[in-house]
Amino acid sequence: MKMHRIHFLPHDRKIEVPDGQTLIRAAMEAGVHINASCGGEGLCGKCRVIIEKGRVAEGISEKLSAEDIENDYRLACRSIVCEDIVVRVPVESEVDVSVLNVRSGPRRTARIREMDFDELKEQGLFSPPMEKKYLELPAPNAQDHLPDVTRLVSFLKLNHGEHSLEVNLPVIRKIPDVLRAQDFRITATLARPVHEGGKTRIINVQPGDTTANNYAIAVDIGTTTVYGQLIDLVSGKVLSQFGDFNAQISYGEDVITRIMAAEKPGGLQKLHEVVIGTINGIIRRLIKRAKVDADEISTLTMSGNTTMTQLMLKVNPRYIRRSPYVPAASLYPPVKAVSLGIELGDHVQALVYPSVSSYVGGDIVAGVMGSGMYRTEELTLFMDIGTNAEIVIGNRDWLACAACSAGPAFEGGGIQFGMRAARGAIEDFSIDPLTAEPMLMTIGNVRPKGICGSGLITMVATLFENGVINNLGKFDRDLQTARIRENQGVWEYVLAWKDETQIDRDITLSEIDIENLIRAKGAIYSGCMTLLEEVGLSIGDIQRIFLAGGFGSYVDLEMAMVIGLLPETDPEHVTYIGNGSLMGAKMSSLTNRIRRDVVDVLRKMTNFELSETASYMNHYVAALFLPHTDMNLFPKLKARLEERKAIHAGKRA
Amino acid sequence: MKMHRIHFLPHDRKIEVPDGQTLIRAAMEAGVHINASCGGEGLCGKCRVIIEKGRVAEGISEKLSAEDIENDYRLACRSIVCEDIVVRVPVESEVDVSVLNVRSGPRRTARIREMDFDELKEQGLFSPPMEKKYLELPAPNAQDHLPDVTRLVSFLKLNHGEHSLEVNLPVIRKIPDVLRAQDFRITATLARPVHEGGKTRIINVQPGDTTANNYAIAVDIGTTTVYGQLIDLVSGKVLSQFGDFNAQISYGEDVITRIMAAEKPGGLQKLHEVVIGTINGIIRRLIKRAKVDADEISTLTMSGNTTMTQLMLKVNPRYIRRSPYVPAASLYPPVKAVSLGIELGDHVQALVYPSVSSYVGGDIVAGVMGSGMYRTEELTLFMDIGTNAEIVIGNRDWLACAACSAGPAFEGGGIQFGMRAARGAIEDFSIDPLTAEPMLMTIGNVRPKGICGSGLITMVATLFENGVINNLGKFDRDLQTARIRENQGVWEYVLAWKDETQIDRDITLSEIDIENLIRAKGAIYSGCMTLLEEVGLSIGDIQRIFLAGGFGSYVDLEMAMVIGLLPETDPEHVTYIGNGSLMGAKMSSLTNRIRRDVVDVLRKMTNFELSETASYMNHYVAALFLPHTDMNLFPKLKARLEERKAIHAGKRA
């Protein structure tokens, strides 16, 4: 087969691919990430690349202007390799990993909550899942021929009261040599049963005393990003953490395109391998950063949404996207990490958080566990906002949950200049109320490249409160500013002029973008209202709001209340919990109590399918305004707007 | 590296090997079996080959005569390949597999005992370990979104009273598609817990109704031979059986040389792979012969001696041959067959019979279970005679066991013309009392090639009863026959003249051979006596003898009593059980009751180390006669000999 050489810039990566392959697949194979919101279908137009040398076949779409094409821009997903080429990935098409690992707390945050080791112990929730015991066994002799494993098990029984022990073959294989390495002095790692009456498993044996070194790894598998933590099981401290993009991104940005990719021949295997690759990369970094011995890692806990969980476990997710939307399983048994391809010791079992339904997954269950909402008396609203928003309402007595599809607006999708919360994203915004001139702040304080979800909310809220857009999300056509203009029949606001940007084009916010945002926030708000109604409560009954998720951590609370994404409430009652999924995975690494409780929580949690709830559509239509048709739900905003109106009226008067 | 081409005849196999490799290793790699009793150390002289074209370096030993060398005979284990050669493997160096699969019952047998399915049921011992259930599940719909696994588990709970179920990941992976293949009508295979309170595992799901097809495989892993059976779990019938040589033979004939081979770098992995290869070959044949679908095999049970078990499980056996002779483990957990490299469905768990000690292994435990001696009131002596003999004494209340090293005499080792019980082996023998001329019968009725163990016993017993040898095993130098001669200082009896044989040499029985046999039978008899003494009994208390093992099935009972291998008893009280190890493996495939009982049996069984029992040496020395120093232990033989003496005295008078 004829092969062609591709040279990717600015990465300086070279790869040979067969004639006829698409450019986006070549990039994947070269390890060059290119945005592909639509999963390579030629729809989103985000995978723009510049062909600097040579040419490709096809590669053209209505997403490219005549000028773009003239300047050798092509869509990578539509381009067919037919000769040697040099390809430049422009800055706006790049996935930038650096921002993931900047430890930045949420801005204007009420409170951040994360339970620690001492709190676990104080609350009687501490029940170590993995314990190491140092043992000095008697050596065999002419009168004592006990088999090695029997010797170990009997000693633990007689001297440590361990009555129900299990040892599996890989550990049996190690025992004879480990016993003799330091004269029958060894450390045994015991995995405690989650449920009473279960057996304690001896999962590892090591020569000498290694009781000081005992670690766990927790991993949150997000559709976009995967985060890991390495936790010291002796001190309870997080020794290192690291995040990376889920390498599955190249197969589509959302779960539906991923499922479709998994349905292609060999697709499930590929998507499985790719995410395991991401997890392995993170684990390697965690171990390197924490400077621990990989053999001392005793346990791995993972959480992710239902699709991510099934792809990671290589369980075909095809029925998740088909009515009646049934996942393969809820609870998964612990499984050997190595059997999944995860590069940890043969003794490490991977625990995976269970899912409630196809769209309320293990990440949400982990958030409920990590946030502690399942143990509190306070009536709590838990929200994880992303492409799909999940809502949980309840307390220690009952829990109700639902998912709603918000669309990708909060993650930059469906927004012309939308992007993820990465370097160059506009994340804060204000305007001069008189001139309507903007003031922008970007992540990393560089020239803007696009708009991230939290920036979008702040922008729309600010424009709305300042009367630049009305409650339908339409620009005030009468405002005297060059920033507002009609462009090919669509009204838009120019956030940054071409020469102020990194991308050599005007960055704008259009009425279509605003409409997409309103639809997204409307879906979430109406989801909350419907779920509350289903359980016979109203928004006023909610005593606490937990905001989880990367987006939830960046969003400006007051701005979110202005656009009607969140119910209006005292910001003191809102708690950011950050990555609830990772927090839950960490908690399960630290204590069996959480591992046990999760089964109860799962039993308590009632799932509501909003699409089958008659009132959902009414709530949704009512929420397709800024902030809502019923302004009485937003009394403080109502008062401010009336005050502002009065001032304007006064000015005009 | 320089390579040379080797052509093996009569197999017509060709292989290229690097310069400097030994010929025996080349044969191994070419899949050509050559006898190597001593494990390739140049000691046994059994690996004679003829270099028909080209030459090898070295290859000479004192085991070859000047004439042999002249005729291009070399020892394969000592020969270094240094150019292209053609090698003929002569008939006496070949391993002949054909005889293993001839279904021949023991000769002159008292009774053969094998428990059947109906007997199990009648005795209340039937508790199926694997059950198939045909289920018609409700399909999911808009009101019923139960995850697939939850749907299956709940259905089994509600409709079949299954309350404690487990499903592992490989089954979870199958469930979604299998449920939908035949409209939610499936067959689930349930693996029942061995112990009460354990969980039932769903180990397989199949579309439609497959309840009629449910099979098990039982495998006995012997040091020399591996036997398998394919069992129908619905009828309890054996549908096919097949035996083959354990391919580890090329690494040495006995367990000690195998352990030494396993201690070499990469050796454990190699020996593990080689025996798994043998097992896979047998399984393929079993499946083909029985014409069943491999996916319908639900379970695999294996048994073998302690070393075979550890090698098969890839557990280093090095401490088995080092004082104080400690095995790695007694009980092994069930382990996934595929994880051992066994080519069965991903759902098949392999059960392995536990060992009592380094030299009383799972094969003996399986024999005790299969023979039912652990459930009888009768005081029973169980013997498995081979290179190592294992003895178990007891009944349903208590069990005592011991192993003694008989040496390889019963398997043809240490006997100049010894061979395994294969085609051409002399297996029966009588003489003309006047001329001392022999009459031979060989396996397969062909010209003789050597002497197998059972033939050796018959031969020595016959020669002894006829006064050709005395009770010290020495030939009567006064007998007038050319058959008895001195050869290089050793007295021998010519069984077959050169031109009567397949091997173009006289086949003889020497005093050294007889001495080796006496030592072997003395070790076993004294083992019995010592063990009886340790438990406070005498030989007269034994009510039943079970003889297990391939050798045990071929031995002529009365002859074995003449030489003092077995205590003298009424043949009616002796039961041949054939391959007790395979029988036990089969029983465990059929009923969980046996799987449960084995743990109790293991607890009841006391192991005695004969080498550390002071009286063993006295018993041994006393047994180094034909049949024994104390003729009162053999009253019938004593009477016969006295009668014979009287006749002779009469003749002479």
Terminal C-alpha separation, chain A: 79
Bridge partners (DSSP) of residue A6 are A15, A85
pLDDT of residue A11: 81
CA closest to A311 among chain B residues: B173
Strands B399-405 and B605-608: parallel
pLDDT of B435: 80
Say yes or no for a CB contact (<8 Å) between A176 and B318.
Answer: yes
For residue A422, the model assigns a pLDDT of 82
Q: Which of B197, B313, B333 has its CB closest to that of A167?
A: B333
pLDDT digits (tens, 9 = 90+) for B282-310: 999 999 999 999 999 999 999 999 999 99
**A78 contacts A62 by C-beta, under 8 angstroms:** no
Of B142, B169, B175, the CB nearest to A335: B169
Residues of A in contact with B323 (CB under 8 A): 142
Rounded to the nearest 5 degrees, what angle is found at the Cα of B284, between the Cα atoms of B282 and B286?
70
Sign for the CA dihedral angle at B475, B480, B484, B486 comes to positive
What residue segments make up the domains of chain B, in order of their start?
3-94, 130-207, 215-352
pLDDT in tens, A285-294: 999 999 999 9
Identical fold, A3-94 and A130-207: yes
Q: Residue A397 burial (CB < 10 Å; 0-12/13-18/19+)? A: exposed
For B605-614, write each residue's pLDDT tens digit: 999 998 888 8
pLDDT, one tens digit per residue, over B534-589 is: 999 998 899 999 999 877 677 888 899 999 999 998 888 988 888 999 999 999 99
Q: Is the pLDDT score of B110 beyond 60?
A: no
Chain B nearest CA to A591, separation (Å): 23
Pairing of strands A349-352, A297-304: parallel
Q: What pLDDT, on the 0 to 100 scale, is given for residue B44?
A: 66
Residue A606 contacts B where some CB pair is shorter than 8 Å: no
pLDDT on residue A3: 92
Q: What pLDDT, on the 0 to 100 scale, is given for residue A541?
A: 93
Report, as an integer, the average pLDDT of A593-606.
94
Give domain A3-94's CATH architecture: Roll (3.10)
B305 touches chain A (CB under 8 A): no
DSSP string of B346-382? TTPEEEEPPPSSSSS-HHHHHHHHHHTGGG-SS-EEE
Q: Which residue has the higher pLDDT, B201 or A91?
A: B201
Asked if pLDDT for residue A107 goes beyond 70, the answer is: no
pLDDT digits (tens, 9 = 90+) for B620-633: 999 999 999 999 99
Q: What is the CATH number of domain B130-207?
A: 3.10.20.880
**A408: preceding bond cis by omega (within 30 degrees):** no
Q: For residue range B472-513, what is the model confidence (pLDDT) as tens digits?
A: 999 999 998 899 999 999 999 999 988 888 888 999 999 999
Q: What is the pLDDT of residue A442?
A: 81
Q: Which residue of A has its CA nearest to B201?
A: A333
Q: Which of B173, B177, B263, B339 to mutate to test the interface with A (most CBs of A within 10 A)?
A: B173
pLDDT value for B197? 82
Residue from A144, A150, A169 whose CB has the most chain B CBs within 10 Å, to mutate: A169
How much is the mean pLDDT over chain A? 89
pLDDT higher than threshold 90 for residue B524: yes
CA distances to A158, A204, B87, B445 from A207, rounded to whole Å, are 21, 10, 50, 60
pLDDT above 50 (res A106): no
Q: Rounded to two decimals, what is the model's pTM? A: 0.81
Q: At A67, is the secondary structure helix, strand, or coil?
A: helix
B359: closest CA of chain A, how far (Å)? 11
B140 lies within 8 A of chain A by CB: yes
> Is it the case that residue A204 has pLDDT exceeding 80?
yes
| A241 contact B CB<8A | no
Q: pLDDT tens digits for B342-401? A: 999 999 999 999 999 999 999 999 999 999 999 999 999 999 987 788 999 999 999 999
Query: Is B327 close to A175, i.e. CB distance below 8 A?
Result: no
Q: How far apart are CA A124 and CA A593, in angstroms?
A: 9
Assign A480 a pLDDT band (cuts: 50, 70, 90). confident
> In this prediction, what percent of chain B has a pLDDT beyond 70?
94
Residue A358 has pLDDT above 60, yes or no: yes
Measured CA to CA, the distance from residue A472 to residue A152 in angstroms comes to 73
What type of residue sits at position B143? Q
Please indicate whether, in this complex, the C-beta atoms of A175 and B332 are within 8 angstroms of each other.
Answer: no
Please give the pLDDT value at position B10. Answer: 83
- Mutation site, A141, A145, A318, interface B, largest B CB count within 10 A: A145
Residue A637 has pLDDT above 80, yes or no: yes
Residue B198 tokens, joined: 């354990």
Which of A112-116, A554-558, B93-97 shows the lowest mean pLDDT across its residues?
B93-97
Length of chain B: 653
- CATH class held by domain A215-352: alpha beta
Q: Residue A495 has what pLDDT?
A: 92
**Which residues of chain A are within 8 Å of residue B332 when distances are taken between CB atoms?**
169, 172
A314·B173 Cβ contact <8 A: yes
Residue A354 C-alpha, separation from nearest chain B C-alpha, in angstroms: 11
Question: Please, is A342 exposed, middle or buried when counting C-beta atoms within 10 Å of its C-beta (0-12, 13-18, 19+)?
Answer: buried
Q: Is the model's pLDDT at A651 over the cut of 70?
A: no
Instruction: State the pLDDT at residue B201.
Output: 96
Measured CA to CA in angstroms, residue A231 lies from A187, A239, A284, A348, B187 at distances of 20, 6, 14, 15, 43
Q: Which of B157, B169, B311, B335 should be substituted to probe chain A, the one whose Cβ sees the most A Cβ atoms within 10 Å?
A: B169
| Mean pLDDT of all residues in B101-123 | 60
Nearest CA in chain A to B142: A324
Closest-CA residue of A relative to B150 is: A329
Model pLDDT, residue A624? 95
> Cβ of A330 and B357 within 8 Å?
no
Report d(CA A158, CA B245) in Å as an integer: 44
> What are the φ and ψ backbone dihedral angles of A429, each rounded to 5 degrees?
-160, 135
Under the banding of pLDDT at 50, 70 and 90, the label for residue A431 is confident
Distance, CA of A350 to chain centre: 19
A195: its two tokens: 């449920």
Question: From the list A150, A326, A328, which residue is nearest B172 (CB)?
Answer: A328
Tell me the sheet residues that pair with A229.
Answer: A218, A241
d(CA B539, CA B558) in angstroms, rounded, equals 17
Helix A453-465 crosses helix A511-534 at what angle (to 10 degrees)? 100
Token digits of residue A340: 């999944």
Tokens linked to A483: 């920033």
Q: Hey, are the CB atoms on B355 and A147 less than 8 Å from each other?
A: yes
Closest-CA residue in chain A for B146? Answer: A326
pLDDT of residue A112: 53
Which of A406 and B107 is assigned the larger pLDDT? A406
Phi and psi of B56, rounded to 5°?
Answer: -120, 160
CA distance A465 to A563: 9
Q: What is the mean pLDDT of chain B?
A: 89
Q: Helices B592-604 and B580-590 meet at what angle, rounded to 10?
A: 130
Does A161 lie at the interface with B, CB-CB under 8 angstroms?
A: no
Enumerate the β-bridge partners of residue B490. Answer: B487
Instruction: Name which of B313, B326, B357 is nearest A148 (Cβ-Cβ).
Output: B326
Q: How confident is the model at residue A108 (pLDDT cuts 50, 70, 90)?
A: very low
Contacts of A185 (CB under 8 A, 6+ apart): A134, A135, A136, A137, A207, A208, A209
- Tell me how crowded residue B653 is: count the other CB atoms within 10 A of its CB: 5
* Separation in Å, CA of B209 to nearest CA in chain A: 22
Confidence grade of residue B104 (pLDDT, cut at 50, 70, 90) = very low
- pLDDT confidence of residue A103: 39
CA closest to A340 among chain B residues: B169
CA-nearest residue to A142 within chain B is B324
